[in-house]
Amino acid sequence: MLNLILVHPLGLGTAGAALGTSIAQWGMAIAYLIMLVPQMRAAGVPLGVDPVALRQAAGVGSWMMLRTVSLRAAIVATVLVATDLGPQTLAAHQVAFTIFSTLAFVLDALAIAAQALIGKELGASRVTQAKAMTRTMIRWGLGFGVITGGVIAVAAPFAPALFTPDAKVASGITVALLVMAAAQPLAGFVFVLDGVLMGAGDVRYLAMVGLANLAIYLPVLWWIAEAGFSGTEAIAWLWAGFAALFMGARGASLGLRARGERWMIAGEHR
């Protein structure tokens, strides 16, 4: 609501969006502190930093940060190539990626569940149950990917009208959505296994394969940028590279890991 008011009635544009987001973030932080500080004091938990706990968190957090950086680098590189392919391709990509991100939250709900459940089972040394749960989660991820993919495919010819009156941009959005729709089962598979391995604490592997996947993807992005594509052909190749190649590389690396048992470290062996 802040962004809506600051951007449109007050006419602050991008600065209004930044200001509204910043106010909302600080508001959430203050709300958390209001809830947590009294409980921490009641439990005798100090408000200061615990150096030992901080080092332990950094051991896991540094690998998680590296994994996140590799993902962000792939996203930013894709935007840079979309920019190089022209304003209409960039506009179509922005709309398509916003829809992809929204659906990612839908599929990521399964990943969060997988993360919690696998951590619980392995922490309790129930490895057999963790294996069975992983297979179940994979089926759910693929199934939800099929459902979301079907919805996108049906909406692809009509959805662009909600975002732009430009026929060329709308055509690019439709093409990107159709490619995205075909890759949704793969996205469901990737998100679920990402959550499974996070729940198992296998973040070092996630970080290392994240860098490897990025190394595979960047040369293909460079080729797309240099190939001279334009119009719907440009957005089709761009989204084929992201949704098929990059997500495919992630799916292959995560699937190979999940097939083995090196990531399944039971509680008493940690």
Per-residue pLDDT of the chain (270 residues; tens, 9 = 90+): 899 899 989 989 889 999 999 999 999 999 999 999 999 999 988 888 888 888 877 777 888 889 999 999 999 999 999 999 999 999 999 999 999 998 888 888 888 888 888 888 888 888 888 888 889 999 999 999 999 999 999 999 999 998 888 899 999 999 999 999 999 999 999 999 998 998 888 889 999 999 999 999 999 999 999 988 888 899 999 999 999 899 999 999 999 998 887 887 776 554
Q: Where are the beta strands (DSSP E) in the chain?
A: none
Determine the longest span between alpha carbons in the chain, in angstroms. Answer: 64
Give which of 218, 199, 179, 216 is closest to 80, Cα–Cα: 218
- 248's tokens: 């495919």
Give which of 65, 152, 159, 161 is closest to 104, Cα–Cα: 152
- 87's tokens: 């304003």
Place of tokens 């958390």: 32
From residue 238, give the alpha-carbon distance in Å to each of 72, 145, 210.
16, 21, 20
* Cα end-to-end span (Å), the chain: 46
pTM over 0.75: yes
